[in-house]
Chains A and B, each alone.
Chain A
Amino acid sequence: MPFTRTALGRATLALLLVGFLCLLGLGGATLWLVEQTRGFTARVEQTQLVRSLAYQALAQLQNLETGQRGYLLTQDRAYLAPYEEARARLPDLLARLAAVTVTATGRQMTGELGRLADEKLAELAETIALVDAGNLPGAVAVVRTDRGRRLMDEARLDIDRLIGTTTTRLTDATGRLVANARWLLWVTLAAIAVIVLVAGFSLWLFRRYAAELEQAGREVQAANAALERRVHERTADLEAANAEIQRFAYIVSHDLRAPLVNVMGFTAEFEIGVESLRALVDRVEAEAPALLTAEARTAAREDLPEAVSFIRSSTQRMDGLINAILRLSREGRRRLVPERLRMAELVGGLAKTVRHQLEERGAVIEVAPDLPDLTSDRIALEQIFGNLLDNAVKYLDPARPGRIEVRGRLDRGPVGGPAGGQAVYEVEDNGRGIPARDHERIFELFRRSGAQDRPGEGIGLAHVRALVRRLGGSIGCDSEPGRGSVFRIVLPRVTVATTGDDQP
């Protein structure tokens, strides 16, 4: 499953939440255990208090009995001191014991203890009163009833049970505390385990995400490399195809000229021959007109010279066309030498060369002083603008004062276009214009537009387009018959030096 950044963010958030909840639970459980421990401590204290008070109460009960026994044996009131002291302290002890006893059974037991103490006090007071009255045998008889002993046994039993009960409760509480602590330990361990798992899982997620990122990066890199390789291959293919076309054009023009040289040369021979024939016809006409036929006369004086002149003009035209192809092929193979060019100066210089032609026709040319500069091939640019200006001058409309304008601007160019952007130049005239159907055709070799009333072979614009393309640019035409034309050239601001083919 591919992993998006949002998915990673969500998963990380969820994991963080889980970890946080674990920590929160752990904190809560710890707090709870601390609270439990405090309660337990209070209970321990209370239990010890109960025990202490119970034992003190028992001790006072025994003191009561001890004082009574001493008095019975001696009838000396001095022996009654423990009895008196215990009788004073016992109620307070019992009240405190009742106060610290919390459970129902505890209260029942303290209540019972209070009752037993009261009964014991009553029995003791009875015997002492009898001794005070001098009735010692009566007092001994009361003791002999065993009621006092029974009461003491019951009180001891009761106290033992009270202590036993509180001890049991303490043991229970201890057990619970231990259980809680153990439970908390497990909870803590579980929480730690969960946190470790969460951390591990997050780590795994991140690593996977990072790995996927890396993989994606590698794929992009590979795709880029493949793309670059393909561009290189295509470029190489195109360059090879281009070189082949150039070579083809060169060979064709070269080899076409060889037979043409013969045609032209022998036409000249033919002309010389015709000339001597014509001289012969003239002589025959003068000296022996009977020998001369009308056909021979016409042939020597009209037909043959006419034929020769047609052959001559055709071969000359063919020679011109072949030369044009040759020039184009040569231009395509020329090494481009980019240099920093001040375009206003370059175009201004070209404008000067056509100025006198313009003055003859009463036309003006204006070159904008802010033409964007280029780093490009000077010769190519001179030929491009030279041809365009020549054309503009050549096809001015005599019906109105001519006006030619050259302007330019910078253009950032398309995304991924040549570095440094591109410059756009416009050569505008108010000449006779070009119909829309010819806007593309005029850039083809040997094609011309409109009335063929101006000299030319249809080479200039084909040459211009070949040059512009060679510089990595494009050229287009915008024109309306009778209004004028705008030729728009888009060129990269920086042309890369090319390896030309210096072989002929």
Chain B
Amino acid sequence: MNTAAQAVTIVMVEDDEGHARLIERNLKRAGVFNEVRHFASGTAAIEHLFGPDGPNGRPVLVLLDLNLPDMSGFDILAKLKEDPKLRFAPVIVLTTTDDEREIRRGYELGCNVYITKPVNYETFAQAIRQLGLFLAVIQVPEAP
């Protein structure tokens, strides 16, 4: 495992505890040991991402569920892509439907991967590894 990639923090926005648990377990089983910060609501996730305890330029990868109790995942996605720093953070959208309009909208807003639940965890972990690696490569020139 690339150490730079491991430095990437995974921010998971998922209101369903079961889904969150399954994602974490499967990531570990697939060998992704990055720190995972789980938020059960859109508000909490935004507070963290844009707050003082947030990434502040450290590399993050966002796992985003679209069906959140307090807002749509698209709202968070749009907010991320408007932010000068966070706009480079890769976003994986996770949702229960494979509605093509929803998928198109996700990609239009700038999501990197769109994954339909129940996930094939092998593909899922592969996507995360690649995106983490991609992130790490980009981070290299900025590293001191």
Contact = CB atoms under 8 A, between A and B. Distances in A.
B62 to A, nearest CB: 19
Interface stretch (B3-11, B79-87, B97-105): B97-105
Interface in B23-50: 25
Contact of B25 (A257, A269, A504): A269
B71 interface: no
B77 to A, nearest CB: 14
Given A260-B118, A504-B101, A265 B18 contact: yes
A502 B99 CA distance: 11
B101 A502 contact: yes
B137 interface: no
Contact of A269 (B16, B19, B22, B102): B22
A326 B101 CA distance: 13
Nearest to B104: A504
Interface in A487-504: 502-504
A254 B97 contact: yes
Contact of B97 (A259, A269, A326): A326
A261 interface: yes
Given A258-B19, A504-B105, A265 B118 contact: yes
B112 interface: no
A326 B116 CA distance: 14
A261 B117 contact: yes
Nearest to B99: A504
The interface size bin for chain A is 10 to 19
Contacts of A504: 97, 99, 101-102, 105
B16 A257 contact: no
Interface centre among B16, B99, B102, B118 (most CB of A within 10 A): B118
Contacts of B99: 326, 330, 504
A266 interface: yes
Given A265-B118, A266-B18, A258 B96 contact: yes
Given A254-B67, A257-B117, A265 B19 contact: yes
B118 A258 contact: no
Interface in B92-143: 96-97, 99, 101-102, 105, 117-118
A265 B18 CA distance: 8
Nearest to A264: B118
Interface in A277-316: none
B111 to A, nearest CB: 14
A254 B96 CA distance: 6
Contacts of A503: 101
26 contacts: A253-B97, A254-B96, A257-B96, A258-B19, A258-B67, A259-B18, A260-B118, A261-B19, A261-B22, A261-B117, A262-B16, A264-B118, A265-B18, A265-B19, A265-B118, A266-B18, A266-B22, A269-B22, A326-B97, A330-B99, A502-B101, A503-B101, A504-B97, A504-B99, A504-B102, A504-B105
Interface of B: 16, 18-19, 22, 25, 67, 96-97, 99, 101-102, 105, 117-118
Given A254-B67, A261-B117, 15 more contacts: A254-B96, A258-B16, A258-B19, A258-B67, A259-B18, A261-B16, A261-B18, A261-B19, A261-B22, A262-B18, A266-B18, A319-B118, A326-B99, A503-B101, A504-B105
